[in-house]
Structure 1
Amino acid sequence: MNAELDVTTEDRTDDQVVDQPVDQTAEAGSTPQDAGSPQVNQLENEGDIAADYLEELLDIADLDGDLDIDVEADRAAVSIVGADLTQLVGRDGKVLEALQELTRLAVYRETGERSRLMLDISGFRAEKRDRLTALGRETAEQVKESGERASLEPMTPFERKIVHDAVAEAGLVSESEGVEPRRYVVVLPASD
């Protein structure tokens, strides 16, 4: 199991860190391996542990929510949907991020392995993924037309990964610059 929680790989050149998108060609619409494989079973177990933990939290907070467990792109994914769960998302997803880390810790406590589990609440991450994918595509088109590099606002590693992937799908290269928490994506024009 990968011990990294960041969703990008990093290449170090001099003293600058440049994020590179992870190749996802094998991930599109597929499970990490065949159903019933040890890796899928491990990810399903992570999802079950996470769901139990989150169910207890919902009970303590007296909130109604339905849990959906899945294995997506080589990681466990748990979604909570319900009437009004905006307080579990928080401003700009800050509460969601904290809950995801707590849930990963709960999985770690049970399995002894670090988890890359993704948590979504009321479709917040799914909507954000759609917006960031569109942003990556639009920025790539602008860079193709202008021939000039474009810098985006600072983003989390999760957000940068989505943009990197969208830019790569559009046929251009992107990199991350800056220092956390102010790292941002730069879309580069095609080289001749």
Structure 2
Amino acid sequence: MSNVIASGKTVEVAVNKGLAQLGVSQDRVTVNILSQPSKGFLGLIGVREAKVELTLLPEVTPEPVVGTMISSSVSNEAVDGDPYAAAVKFILDVGRSMGLEVEVEVQHTKDATTLHIFGPDLGLMIGRRGQTLDSLQYLANIVANRVSTSYLRIILDAENFRERRKKTLEELADRLAGRVIRSHKEVVLEPMSPQERKVIHAKLQDHKVVKTYSKGEEPNRRVVISLR
């Protein structure tokens, strides 16, 4: 499925429904607003919902490369036509605006490209539970895909946060699964990003006693753990 048409009370709600159907984030699609919502006569008759069309951007898999590239500065000339250089320059500029001198290591793999950030005081760029890092990752993807002719998937990491966070979430999943089994009551987790929800689902997908599902709308969508 490469495109969907979705409706909602607002354009935002319609877009979120379409993203849920495609199972992707907004940076993976183009959005065409087919119709704006209207309240109709006296706000009661002829109510029309917003309607949008979401088209999935083509995805390109970066070729594996040997080694990595370290960048402490990137010129505008180097950015021209290079989506990865554009993303690196964005991160470096953000770091300097935060008073941080950082370096970025670009690592290509079969599935994605990871930008590893190195430098002092990276807690500022990671943020609480990685929220700042997630926001920067989202923006870095937008910056890169504005330059690229095909969709690129970029992961942003700092101080190996992604792996440490994944381990923390997997331990949390095991612990809460045990609580559900003991109490026979479902557990609703705090709102998480799609990537973090995926970790919880993957950890418990083969569990013999509990199951997981998500509920709610972005950005307040939550994982629920319950008995099978």
| Comparing 181-190 and 144-153, the one that deviates more | 144-153
Write the letter of the residue equivalent to 1:41. Answer: E
Q: Deviations over 1:112-168 (max 9, x none)?
A: 333331111233333222211111122223334444432222222122111111112
Shift of 1:179: 2.0
Report the counterpart of residue 164 of structure 1 in structure 2: 201
Q: Distance in 1 between matches of 2:110 and 2:205?
A: 17
Distance change in 2, residues 1:153/1:71 (3 Å) = same
Shift of 1:92: 4.1
Find 2:159's aligned residue among 122, 131, 134: 122
The answer to whether residue 107 in structure 2 is matched with residue 70 in structure 1 is yes
Which of the pair has the greater relative contact order for Cα pairs under 8 Å at 6+ separation?
1
SS in 2 for 1:41: coil
Q: Distance in 2 between matches of 1:88 and 1:107?
A: 19
| Comparing 132-141 and 116-125, the one that deviates more | 116-125
TM-score (norm 1): 0.65
Distance change in 2, residues 1:176/1:119 (3 Å) = same
Report the counterpart of residue 39 of structure 1 in structure 2: 61
The answer to whether residue 207 in structure 2 is matched with residue 185 in structure 1 is no
Write the letter of the residue equivalent to 2:61. Answer: Q
Unaligned runs of 5+ in 1: 18-37
Identical aligned residues as a percent? 25
Shift of 1:72: 5.6
Report the counterpart of residue 212 of structure 2 in structure 1: 174
TM-score (norm 2): 0.56
Distance change in 2, residues 1:177/1:60 (3 Å) = closer
SS in 2 for 1:70: strand
Distance change in 2, residues 1:86/1:139 (3 Å) = same
Q: Deviations over 1:161-188 (max 9, x none)?
A: 1111111254442100122222111113
Give the RMSD, CA atoms, in angstroms. 3.6
Write the letter of the residue equivalent to 1:142. Answer: R
Could you tell me whether the CA contact under 8 Å between 1:67 and 1:81 is conserved in 2?
Answer: yes
Q: Distance in 2 between matches of 1:169 and 1:84?
A: 39
| Comparing 43-52 and 139-148, the one that deviates more | 43-52
Q: Distance in 2 between matches of 1:75 and 1:106?
A: 16
